[in-house]
Amino acid sequence: MCEPMLHGENEESGLRHYCGVFGAVAIEPWPTELDIPRIITLGLVGLQHRGQESAGIVTTTGEEGQFITKKGMGLVEQIFKNEDMIKLKGNLGIGHTRYSTMGGSELINIQPFVVNTAHGKIAVAHNGEIVNAPALRHKLLKSGVGLSTDSDSELITQFLTHPPSCGEPNGANWINRIKSMMEVATLSYALLIMYKDVIYAVRDPFGNRPLSIGKILPPSFKRMDLVPDEDIEGFVVGSETCSFHTIGAKFYRDVLPGEIVEISKSGIKSCGIVPRPNGQLPAFCIFEYVYFARADSVFESQMVYTARQRCGRQLALEAPADADIVSTVPESATPSAVEYAKTVGLPYTEIFSKNRYIGRTFIQPTTRLRQLGVAKKFGPLTDNFDGKRIVLIDDSIVRGNTMQALVKLLKKYGAKEVHVRVASPPIKYPCYMGINIPTKQELIANRIPLEDLPQHLCADSVKYLSIEGLVKAVQEGIKDNGQAVGHCTACLSGDYPVKLDW
Amino acid sequence: MCEPMLHGENEESGLRHYCGVFGAVAIEPWPTELDIPRIITLGLVGLQHRGQESAGIVTTTGEEGQFITKKGMGLVEQIFKNEDMIKLKGNLGIGHTRYSTMGGSELINIQPFVVNTAHGKIAVAHNGEIVNAPALRHKLLKSGVGLSTDSDSELITQFLTHPPSCGEPNGANWINRIKSMMEVATLSYALLIMYKDVIYAVRDPFGNRPLSIGKILPPSFKRMDLVPDEDIEGFVVGSETCSFHTIGAKFYRDVLPGEIVEISKSGIKSCGIVPRPNGQLPAFCIFEYVYFARADSVFESQMVYTARQRCGRQLALEAPADADIVSTVPESATPSAVEYAKTVGLPYTEIFSKNRYIGRTFIQPTTRLRQLGVAKKFGPLTDNFDGKRIVLIDDSIVRGNTMQALVKLLKKYGAKEVHVRVASPPIKYPCYMGINIPTKQELIANRIPLEDLPQHLCADSVKYLSIEGLVKAVQEGIKDNGQAVGHCTACLSGDYPVKLDW
Amino acid sequence: MCEPMLHGENEESGLRHYCGVFGAVAIEPWPTELDIPRIITLGLVGLQHRGQESAGIVTTTGEEGQFITKKGMGLVEQIFKNEDMIKLKGNLGIGHTRYSTMGGSELINIQPFVVNTAHGKIAVAHNGEIVNAPALRHKLLKSGVGLSTDSDSELITQFLTHPPSCGEPNGANWINRIKSMMEVATLSYALLIMYKDVIYAVRDPFGNRPLSIGKILPPSFKRMDLVPDEDIEGFVVGSETCSFHTIGAKFYRDVLPGEIVEISKSGIKSCGIVPRPNGQLPAFCIFEYVYFARADSVFESQMVYTARQRCGRQLALEAPADADIVSTVPESATPSAVEYAKTVGLPYTEIFSKNRYIGRTFIQPTTRLRQLGVAKKFGPLTDNFDGKRIVLIDDSIVRGNTMQALVKLLKKYGAKEVHVRVASPPIKYPCYMGINIPTKQELIANRIPLEDLPQHLCADSVKYLSIEGLVKAVQEGIKDNGQAVGHCTACLSGDYPVKLDW
Amino acid sequence: MCEPMLHGENEESGLRHYCGVFGAVAIEPWPTELDIPRIITLGLVGLQHRGQESAGIVTTTGEEGQFITKKGMGLVEQIFKNEDMIKLKGNLGIGHTRYSTMGGSELINIQPFVVNTAHGKIAVAHNGEIVNAPALRHKLLKSGVGLSTDSDSELITQFLTHPPSCGEPNGANWINRIKSMMEVATLSYALLIMYKDVIYAVRDPFGNRPLSIGKILPPSFKRMDLVPDEDIEGFVVGSETCSFHTIGAKFYRDVLPGEIVEISKSGIKSCGIVPRPNGQLPAFCIFEYVYFARADSVFESQMVYTARQRCGRQLALEAPADADIVSTVPESATPSAVEYAKTVGLPYTEIFSKNRYIGRTFIQPTTRLRQLGVAKKFGPLTDNFDGKRIVLIDDSIVRGNTMQALVKLLKKYGAKEVHVRVASPPIKYPCYMGINIPTKQELIANRIPLEDLPQHLCADSVKYLSIEGLVKAVQEGIKDNGQAVGHCTACLSGDYPVKLDW
């Protein structure tokens, strides 16, 4: 018999990203009608899946220009109305989109932050989480600085401005300041720092969070690959390349782990790479491939969609099932499911119709309705599975509530068997690098022994992809370009890139 | 060369439904924890795709009970918070979800309407549009009634209450009143009328708008088809059966064209069928199959998803294409596309990743960005189609702007050829039966000759499903149950079920 | 010892008006820059004290023009922004401001109502309450009309449109319709009815609610009394003449009890007077003088401020006190207090400083703070009364909580004695004519015997003005113009103008 | 002839305060039901006239307790609902109310600020403006601190935390830190600094902004002056003593210019006085008496109301007028007007009825209506002044628009003469100490020569109180307690307490 669902749980509590960052710069001579604030807004819309609760943009006309700031709670397109577009002026700017707990007072935490320093104003947008924040905080407070938030981003900002020790007789040397910050804080961040008419794009030495650069094409381009470089009108930099599509930009290259890239009206310049301690490998978050990133983004020269397909194929090899059809929990598991089906030779069949209009305010159901809550979002396509044995593919299982509810729903509506296959390994450990994972106690992989999972989920069998299988599936698509390759699997394996000693 | 996009158009302006209706009744003895207001709320969530701008619910405890009303602007789950659930009490009730132009003053138009009559209060929820409204309005005003809105629903309501001529010596005879209303207003409505402890479910004689009845199962049911009838705890009635899944209800039967069904704590009773004039066939809106309904709904004993699959197969037979892959404009065209691919023997491949977080407030783009607006919603999965010949399936084309933008996007990102195939015929005529269609001048089928469409859409070929093909694909799945079968194709053919003489 | 304050009571629960009405018409030739919608808005601002929770305006360009409507919740200036002023066009219009319980769904009740009738559209704004509403409702429902609200205003509207029996071969005869409505509904209303390019201003036969007409002066006028009649640019009509000041209008005359006045671009025309039943006297609400009206309004040819002064003088004659200073509960009791002081020969001294920024959301105080709640609104000017014997004048006492709290506050801050004097008689009976009075049980005059009042209020003595004294004080300022004079004192005496037989 | 009103001006643009501060501490043993968060809320309600656009409260349970913060836009009672009162816990806390330009992003500026320092968290609330802010800012940035706002309050906060130079081997010595801040920033602030279980109340050496201490009385007190000191339950500290009335607190003493007072559960302790540079006199803002403070507040041992009365008397001596009546622009000029009338021997008569319901959103009137705009707020009591010669007293004139409009209004409604008398001298200079004054060009005293003012204001004569007269009127009520007395008259005389050298 199936176990009862835990009271008070809901299907919402999965993994959650903290942020996405996006910047844009027009190159000289400034193309008419190249509207940088609008480009940043649209870029943030393309990163909306990385944070839906607040967003901010800071623009400037450069050298002598003021910073113009607009922030708000809600989706990007709700915050930036046309009237804001008129106020937000400039030839360069940076933006940020973010997940956060609600509440007016949280407005103080919306990025980018603008800070006055002895060397002028800077604006900072940050995706990630400083692993050794407590130690750094302590150091900063001791030096006499007051901190008004608990955010890592304020920490980074004060670390950038504080130490006048860098020795800069001829004015501000931000590259040295950034490097000295990177040496004490090695994990994890993708940073955009705007100063006068320059944006510095920075990735931590482990490359834990993604950051890519693109070129803005002229409006008349017919085919992206036919635009000559001298026609490029500007540069963009953002957490994911999917944000480039909306504004007609072409992917150029990733910011490398540890690299500082200077972007200005004169073009792009690498300002060096801060090395990893002890010659370690990079540690790019493998869950960006599994779950977080949008399928049309490109990391390490491969499309996320393709990596997910390979995960599905690998899963089919590791954990085939005797069944009639293969299906998916829409939408992110679909590439894995289609490939799994092809590999095992079973028909791929849709079994759920998704309700696109689920609001954010949830009605607390009575006990009798809670079990059916999942049907609000996933309507069963009954004729497609009635009396059949189903392989149901999902990209990951966090707490397990949604999966349990889905399996029960399928059985109530006539499924003969349900075999759950997960295109990633069990999640067991917390992430301290920018991802919000439920507590260890809430993770189903820690709560229920693997052998008891089928009964718990009411399924006929439950199997995961292995860690090795996932790493293999992800890495085999990365073209050899001489760069070291490495991925963080801490939430799956417990192996963190740096020692956690607090 | 491709034609430029019309200035000021946007991809939003498609077809739009006006409404969905939903009702629920608990049967005696009232099951504990059977929460009728919550069931109606969840039912409306399941009908959210039929109207997202406002919703309302009226409940009552029956015979002597008061009507309790809650209405609001926005999505169902935004309007009905937990605190409302406490206030909304009762063993029966009806609800309505609706598309409307925004504006506080529009609150007056949110249904259900509650009206005091000489025979007591009634509440009315209506989906559809009265074809001969102008004539009926005139008649009613002449009799001395003042009308405070322009809505058909007020018209229906006053027609139900007004004529005391039905001769009812022993109190209210609502069935006679409803019948006499149906005789003067033959098109189009699915109506729920609540009076004391009874809900009357009514469909116009042509059955133009859908309305189905379901049975509420006990919470413990394991398999829907194993619940005996004596365990049924209540009844629901709604525009689409997809609304039954969320609340654990089992589809029972459609309300027939012209039928009045009485639903109460004692069960269900048919109160007769008002015949169509001149023995005409029914005229169920064929676009419910093509576009409006959710794929997991069942009409005329067949799942909408399956009908869409047959449309895809029929389209493949009528309009094959020489290409490398078959793909879809997600999400409603997917069943057609998968079936088209199978029929022509080409691989089905996803080419777009959908951005689920597009807000409702649109930033007015500059000319240079307008063309790329479609990429906000559809991110290209470039590796999946680069250098390939694509068959792109859509369920319908209204103004053509989205399709033009999608084709251009695909070509910019490397598609070699794009062959557009539409799983329904060209839309050419207005609907006067509850669907909001752009003006004749805006419909692409009236603006651009079929032979010029490829050039206009920048596509290599464009083909539609024929009207006959659509009717065949829809009707061949309807099991012969002795009922007459017929569908309204007015927006495609210009053949309206009744003569339009105003 | 003073009695403890009743738990849960608050100082807010006094008497409350339901509404104010205002209309304006430009006369031909239409003066340029005479902005009728803005004039109505400003007129409603001048009536804001008669209702602060919602307001509405309907305008028209006359004969063939459409009605344009704007309504909303909140204060007039919050609802009618500049952008609304552009949409609201026309040469005539009517408006309404209203008190109501909050709640979005209440929008349906915001006036003016616009109704389609067989004879065209009318718009109706109503101040008052139909005493025999239940009987009229019953009659209307029986004739087959459905009513969608419980409001008297819908009742009036349907009664105006319903009976086609008035015999009108040559089109609409609204005057006859209005008269026939007035014959069945004699109490109480001040009505504005707009039809095509005419506004009908109507007062019930008892003249219970006020309604006055003013002339719009040209902008250049230096002194109101020097503007010749041929320069008049339009007419206004409103519940109180204080609404005329804001828009530069000059008081012309009252609409008489039972009178119908037609106002149009051609000027003003009386359409006759519907007589009171059985030759009764008029019954103008005496509490308009005591409390409701603004001090700068003029009724029956006298300024309200002056009538209040006479109430203070009369109170001094009826109930003098041995004390050191005379003071007031600001602000409406000030004219009475100043005149009382002058009559008894004591100095008038301010003892409270009023906090103008009390919000509408009240923090529920703990028991220890509740007693001091009144100090939020009234700050004691301690040096002005420390060690002194005070006569404290208020215009009326409803529940008595505020007065009890004020007396306690004065004593805590050093007052030696406090003698309460009330410039109106005890309120004992409900009003069915448009005023919201707390229940009989809540009225202090019904709860506490007069002789126990000093102890209850912690005062050294408490005295009221007599009913005769109030009537005398009010009537002696009315110039004899041949009109019958009479006032409704029902809430004080229990003598209602008509028999209440429901 | 009167001059036309300047286009685009409005009567709203007067002087504006920036802030009010309030703190409260319960003394041991903590009295049950002494609700500190509620006391702070009510205290802020009593300071609402010092800032209506946002407010904040920070509370703590002391020593080890966390700081709990609640902030918001709007009036105090709109921000602090009952549900907030539950969350805000503690035995001590500070609050702030503030005027600011609107806008969500301004939330970042709402006080109190909470800052983490090397010595723990502090919360800071500030009223005033740092005169030498630019120099201090520069100094702070140079030392490597980043500043994220332009506010003086962040400046103060960082100055308090930054210099570790105070030498504190045994932990935090906040008193030394505060003193060292006060030595560099001498003007102007009333500060509340909360650290662990202590509140430091600080006034700048010139005493420019007010700050007073009160004792919380037990709930049962009958007369304030009879409560023995051992019954005192706590302490409050706030910008004005009018805030003490609401919460049953008794004025104890002012914080002296330059003094630091420590308030804790153990009681009150003076921590010394930082002297003024060069033995200067104090410079308490004289406009607190004239306009800003509530009439029931006590400064320097005298009630503000009484000081205003003396201003009226002095004005009568300096500038009598030959007239029939004396009246006031309600409400703040009333004490002066009543005393002026008594001194010159003319009757005091009200001539305006104030509309209490003027919203904050103003409709832009047409030219023809602009002149009458003032009548929205001030309704003329025509019978009281028709045909009479009026002396109209106001407390101050800033731009002059309101006064011009009022005089015109009176004349249009029949006033024979209007003699304007102002109970303070002409305002000519900017304030850099916390008051928002219109630009020099906008001040009427700089725009119109005194001799042209009658014509400009359409008045028959216009006279101001002299600076000497104002100082005399204010100072003659201050009891000699050995303290130096001095007032800032910078906005009138141009004599600033410190040299302005930026």
Render A13-61 in DSSP notation, one character per residue.
-S-EE-EEEEEEEEPSSPPTT--HHHHHHHHHHTTGGG--SEEEEEEE-
Element (DSSP H or E) covering residue C436: strand C435-436
Can you name the CATH fold of B308-354+372-471? Rossmann fold (3.40.50)
Q: For residues C465 and A80, what is the distance between their CA atoms, to the nearest angstrom?
A: 62
* Residue of A117, A137, A146 lying closest to D141 (CB–CB): A117
* Cα–Cα dist B37/B18, whole Å: 23
For A400-454, write each residue's pLDDT tens digit: 988 999 999 999 999 999 999 999 999 999 998 988 888 888 899 999 999 999 9
Give the chain D residue nearest C414 (alpha carbons): D223
The chain-wide mean pLDDT, for chain A, equals 87
Q: Which residues of B147-180 are buried (b: 16+ CB within 10 A; e: fewer)?
A: bbbebbbbbbbbbbbbbeeeeeeeebebbebbbb
A161–D142: do the CB atoms touch at under 8 Å?
Answer: no
B72: chain A residues, CB-CB within 8 Å: none
Instruction: List the single residue in D70, D144, D157 with the smallest CB-CB distance to A161.
Output: D144
Q: Is the pLDDT of residue A2 over 50?
A: no
- Asked whether D320 and D500 are in contact (CB, 8 A), the reply is no
Q: Which of A107, A117, A161 lies at the smallest CB-CB distance from D108?
A: A107
Which residues in chain B have their CB less than 8 angstroms from residue C137's CB? 116
Residue of A nearest to D163 (CA): A144
Give residue-wise pLDDT tens across range C236-295.
999 999 999 988 899 999 999 999 999 999 999 999 999 998 889 999 999 999 999 999
Q: Would the pLDDT of B450 be above 90?
A: yes
- How do residues C175-195 score in pLDDT, each as one tens digit? 999 999 999 999 999 999 999
Highest mean pLDDT among A248-252, B389-393, B443-447, C34-38: B389-393
CB contact under 8 A, D382 and C34: no
Q: Which residue of B has its CA nearest to A359?
A: B77
Q: Which residue ranges does chain D devote to CATH 3.40.50.2020?
A: 307-471
Domain with CATH 3.60.20.10 in chain D: 16-280
Question: Residues B135, B502: contact at Cβ < 8 Å?
Answer: yes
Which residues 109-148 of chain C have a CB within 8 Å of chain B? 113-118, 122, 137, 141-148
Residue C416 pLDDT more than 80?
yes
Q: Among B318-322, C109-113, C426-430, whose mean pLDDT is lowest?
A: C109-113
Cβ of residue A200 closer than 8 Å to a chain B Cβ:
no
Q: What pLDDT, in 10s, does the model give residues A243-260?
A: 999 888 999 999 999 999
Mean pLDDT of C423-452: 91
**Per-residue pLDDT for B355 more than 90?**
no
* C-alpha span between C22 and C41 (Å, rounded): 9
* Predicted pLDDT of residue D210: 97
| CA–CA separation, D56 and D111 (whole Å) | 6
Chains contacting A (3 or more CB pairs within 8 Å): B, D
Write down the pLDDT at residue A172: 61
Chain C contact present for B78, CB below 8 A: no
Q: Which residue of C has its CA nearest to D222?
A: C412
Number of inter-chain CB pairs under 8 A, C vs D? 222
Which residues of A161-226 form beta strands (DSSP E)?
A: 189-195, 198-203, 212-216
Contact D369 C411 (CB under 8 A): no
Q: Is B332 annotated as a binding residue?
A: yes
pLDDT at C491 over 60: yes
Q: Is the pLDDT of residue C121 over 50?
A: yes
Residue C379 predicted with pLDDT over 70:
yes
Task: Name the residue in chain C with its Cα closest to that of D75.
Answer: C359
The structure tokens 């969608």 sit at C148
Tell me the chain A residues in contact with residue B306 when contact means C-beta distances shorter than 8 Å: 383
In CATH, the architecture of B17-280 is 4-Layer Sandwich (3.60)
User: Known binder of ligand: residue C488?
Assistant: yes
pLDDT confidence of residue D271? 96
- D294 — contact with chain C (CB < 8 Å)? yes
- pLDDT higher at C402 or C4: C402
User: How far does C159 lie from chain D, in Å, by closest CA?
Assistant: 35
Give the pLDDT confidence of B404-440 residue by residue, as tens digits.
999 999 999 999 999 999 999 999 999 989 888 888 8
Q: C358: closest CA among D367, A233, A3, D78? A: D78
Q: Determine the pLDDT at residue B117.
A: 86
CATH 3.40.50.2020 in chain B, residues?
308-354+372-471
Q: Which of residues C486 and D224 earns the better pLDDT score?
A: C486
pLDDT of amino acid B468: 98
The pLDDT score that the predictor gives to residue B95 is 97
Given a cut of 70, is residue A225 above it in pLDDT? yes
Q: What is the pLDDT of residue C47?
A: 95
Cα torsion D282, D283, D288, D289: sign: positive
Q: Output the CA torsion sign for B431, B432, B437, B441.
A: positive
Asked if the model's pLDDT at residue C155 lies above 70, the reply is yes
Which pLDDT score is estimated for C158?
A: 87
Q: Test D115 with A147 for CB contact under 8 angstroms.
A: yes
Answer whether C368 touches D (CB < 8 Å): yes
For the stretch B172-182, pLDDT in tens is: 689 999 999 99
pLDDT number for residue D363: 52
What is chain C's Cα-based Rg? 24
Q: Do chains B and D touch (3 or more CB pairs under 8 A)?
A: no
Yes or no, beta carbons of C77 and D39 under 8 Å apart: no
Q: For residue B33, what are its two tokens?
A: 């924890």
Residue C2 annotated in ligand binding:
no
pLDDT of amino acid B293:
94
Backbone angles phi, psi at A259, to 5 degrees: -85, 150
Catalytically annotated residues of D: 19
Q: What is the DSSP code (8-state) at residue B187?
A: S
Q: Which two tokens stand for residue A405?
A: 């509810």
pLDDT for residue B213: 98
* pLDDT over 60 (residue C74): yes
- Write out the CATH class of domain A309-355+367-471: alpha beta
Within 10 A of A337 (CB to CB), how many other CB atoms are there? 29
Q: What is the pLDDT of residue B2?
A: 46
Give the pLDDT confidence score for residue C449 in this predicted structure.
95
Q: Which residue of B has its CA nearest to C148?
A: B115
Task: Say yes or no for a CB contact (<8 Å) between C242 and D353.
Answer: yes
Which pLDDT value is given to residue A368?
A: 59
A170 vs D191, which has greater pLDDT? D191
B neighbours by CB contacts (3+ pairs under 8 Å): A, C
Residues of C in contact with B161 (CB under 8 A): 144-146
Least confident of A170-179, B377-386, D285-294: A170-179
Task: Give catalytic residues of C, as residue numbers.
Answer: 19
* Phi, psi for A422 (deg, rounded to 5): -115, 125
Give the range among A95-104, A240-249, B60-69, D378-387 with minimum mean pLDDT: A95-104
Q: Does B103 touch chain C (CB under 8 A)?
A: no
Q: Is 3.30.1330.60 the CATH classification of the domain at D307-471?
A: no
Inter-chain CB proximity A296 and B46 less than 8 Å: no
Q: Has residue A240 got a pLDDT over 80?
A: yes
Please tell me the CATH superfamily of domain D16-280, with its number.
Answer: Aminohydrolase, N-terminal nucleophile (Ntn) domain (3.60.20.10)
φ/ψ (deg, to 5) at D340: -60, -45
Q: Is the pLDDT of residue A469 over 80?
A: yes
pLDDT score for A392: 98
User: Any chain D CB within 8 A of the CB of A450?
Assistant: no
Q: Give bridge partners of residue B462 from the DSSP assignment.
A: B420
Residue of C223, C371, C372 lying closest to D411 (CB–CB): C223
Q: What is this model's ipTM?
A: 0.91
Domain with CATH 3.60.20.10 in chain B: 17-280
B 410-449 residues with CB < 8 A to A: 411-414
pLDDT of A191 above 90: yes
Mutate to test the interface with D, among A138, A140, A145, A193 (most CBs of D within 10 A): A145
Yes or no: say if C113 and C95 are a contact pair by the CB < 8 Å rule: no
Q: Identify the CATH number of the domain defined by range C19-279.
A: 3.60.20.10
In this complex, whether C and A touch, counting 3 or more CB pairs under 8 angstroms, is no
Whether C234 has a pLDDT exceeding 80, the answer reads: yes
Confirm or deny that D285 is annotated as ligand binding.
Answer: yes
Residues C8-30 have a mean pLDDT of: 71
Determine, for residues C296 and D362 on separate chains, whether the beta-carbon distance falls below 8 Å. Answer: no
Residue A349 structure tokens: 């069949």
Is residue D296 a known part of a binding site? no
According to the model, what pLDDT value does residue D372 have? 66
Cβ contact (<8 Å) for B118 and C105?
no
Distance CA A250, CA A256 (A): 18
Decide if B146 and C163 are in contact by the 8 Å CB cutoff.
no
Q: Can you give the pLDDT at residue B10? A: 35
Mean pLDDT, chain C, rounded, equals 87
Residue A369 to residue B41, Cβ atoms within 8 A: no
Q: Give the distance from residue A277's alpha carbon to the nearest chain B alpha carbon, in angstroms.
A: 36
Catalytic-role residue among A2, A19, A166, A242 = A19
Residue ranges, chain D, pLDDT below 70: 1-17, 32, 100-108, 163-172, 359-372, 501-502
- How far is the alpha carbon of B142 from chain C, nearest alpha carbon, in Å? 5
Q: How far is B150 from chain C (nearest CA, A)?
A: 9
Chains that touch C (3 or more CB pairs under 8 A): B, D
- Closest-CA distance of chain C to residue B81, Å: 14
Kindly indicate whether the domain formed by C302-471 is annotated with CATH number 3.40.50.2020.
yes
All residues at 6 or more sequence positions from C174 whose CB lies less than 8 Å from its CB, including other chains: C119, C122, C160, C193, C195, C198, C200
Nearest to A108 among D107, D117, D164 (CB): D107
